[in-house]
Homo-oligomer: A and B are copies of this chain.
C-alpha cells in the first residue's frame, strides 16, 4: 500500500487532508510564513531563506502550488510566488469551526 483510500471520504475531508498534508513539512510552513512576511516573493529569495538545495525548494513550491496554497506568476526572468487567499481561508474556517464545536461540547468525556 502507501496510497490513501480517498474514495470513501467526503470531498471536503479530502480537500482538507490534501492541504493539511501540503503543510505537513516544516519547509512548506516556512515558505508560507516567508511569503506573508516579506514583500518580495521571488523564488530565488525563498531558496536563499531555506536551508535546502534549490531543486528541493522547487519541489516544495510545486507541491504547494499543486494543492492551490500558493500561486506563481512569471516576473521577467524570475518567478513570483504568493499565497492563495482562498485556499488558506478554507483551512482557517475549518479549524475555527472545529474549535467552536469543541467549546460547545466542553469535555463531555475524557
Mark A residues whose CB is within 8 Å of B.
Answer: 4-6, 8-10, 13-14, 16-18, 20-30, 32-33, 36-37, 39, 41, 50-52, 71-73, 75, 80-83, 85, 88-89, 91-92, 95-96, 98-99, 101-102, 105, 107-110
Contact = CB atoms under 8 A, between A and B. Distances in A.
Contacts of A50: 8
Nearest to A37: B101
Q: Is the interface of A mostly helix, strand, loop or mixed?
A: helix
B110 A88 contact: no
A25 B6 CA distance: 8
Contact of A17 (B10, B26, B72): B26
Q: Which of A18, A92, A107, A108 has the most CB of B within 10 A?
A: A92
